[in-house]
């Protein structure tokens, strides 16, 4: 199980130093994500991707549930009204449920791709002021070691949160 640590750093130079220390501590670069105000040069830092910046994962999850539920209701209504041939009721309801779930997940994720990640809302003001948000995904056993290392070498780094679980697939 992985945990996500959130550090707010005052500038890009501090973020570069933290990045180098994390690499020396054997944290993989694909487990680090940096978000800064638009226009900030993050050329040698691992910038956060669409999954970290937008609410696409939450949107897809919500759409999957609502689409599947809608498919079950529509399939049940179609069966009850006689639109589906006898003997195929279960398959028709199941296929509408699965189709609705996939359609719901796709449409919801397309909408949510334009919405900022709701988990980053507490950091929005600090990012707007020019601070750097540094996110690190770590195994649970490394969380204390890495957070102690960052606080020891960078007292200016504000550790704001430890997310208990991170999404499995991005």
- How many residues does this entry show for the chain? 170
Which positions ≥6 away from 118 have C-beta within 8 Å? 55, 58
Domain residues of the chain, as ranges? 2-40+48-54+117-163, 56-112
**Considering the domain 2-40+48-54+117-163 in this protein, what is its CATH number?**
3.30.70.120
Instruction: Please tell me the distance from the alpha carbon of residue 40 to that of residue 17, in angstroms, as a whole number.
Output: 16
Cβ distance 44 to 15 under 8 Å? Answer: no
Which positions ≥6 away from 81 have C-beta within 8 Å? none
Cβ distance 98 to 71 under 8 Å? Answer: yes
Q: The whole model's pTM is what?
A: 0.73
Cβ distance 28 to 22 under 8 Å? Answer: no
Instruction: Please tell me the distance from the alpha carbon of residue 115 to that of residue 125, in angstroms, as a whole number.
Output: 16
Residue 76: predicted pLDDT: 82
Mean local confidence (pLDDT), 118-132: 86
CA distances from 134 to 34, 77, 88, 119, 169 (A): 5, 50, 53, 14, 20
**How does pLDDT run across 93-116, given as a tens digit for each residue?**
888 899 999 999 999 999 999 888
């Amino acid at each position: 199980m992985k945990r996500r640590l959130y550090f707010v750093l005052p500038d890009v130079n501090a973020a570069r130093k933290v990045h180098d220390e994390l690499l020396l501590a054997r944290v993989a670069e694909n487990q680090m994500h940096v978000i800064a105000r638009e226009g900030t040069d993050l050329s040698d830092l691992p910038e956060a991707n669409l999954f970290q910046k937008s609410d696409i994962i939450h949107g897809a999850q919500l759409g999957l549930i609502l689409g599947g539920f809608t498919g079950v209701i529509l399939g049940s209504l179609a069966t009850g009204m006689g639109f589906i041939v006898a003997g195929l009721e279960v398959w028709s309801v199941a296929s509408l449920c699965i189709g609705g779930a996939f359609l719901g997940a796709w449409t919801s994720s397309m909408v949510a791709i334009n919405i900022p990640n709701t988990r980053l809302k507490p950091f929005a003001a600090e990012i707007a002021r020019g601070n750097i948000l540094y996110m690190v995904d770590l195994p649970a056993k490394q969380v204390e070691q890495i957070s102690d290392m960052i606080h020891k070498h960078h007292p200016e780094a504000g550790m704001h949160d430890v997310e208990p679980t991170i999404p499995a697939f991005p």
